[in-house]
Structure 1
Amino acid sequence: MPAEEFCAWLKHVDFSERHAARILQISRTTVAKYRQEGAPAHIGFACTAIALGMPIWRRGTE
């Protein structure tokens, strides 16, 4: 996920660096790094899921 897309996501979901770090379960330093250098693919997938309002996946009872 390029840095400009990560920054656009932060703005779209209206998250501060602190809140994004909490939701993504990473440090604020890492959020700042992603803003400058971009984020790995798995963070991009998580950002997409969050932007779409998807809940954390839980295996259903069978």
Structure 2
Amino acid sequence: MDAVTFVNWRKSSRSSGNPQQCVEVGSAPALRGVRDSKLGAASPVLAFGHGAFDDFLAAIKGGRFRR
């Protein structure tokens, strides 16, 4: 995969109370990226197509990833 530049990183509103659970979401053409905000630009990025990102968010909101 060629290098992708994500822009407009924004911190998740769900991350604001706990510094150990900070995530940011950025965008690129046809992609959304998720990274650890504590690492900033040094963080690896998990990239999703728009449809897959919507499915990922729905799974999170539905509690699928709760411990």
**TM-score, shorter chain, exceeding 0.5:** no
Higher relative CO (CA 8 A, sep ≥ 6), structure 1 or 2? 1
- Which structure is higher in helix share? 1
- Which structure is higher in strand share? 2
Per the normalisation by structure 1, the TM-score is 0.29
Per the normalisation by structure 2, the TM-score is 0.28
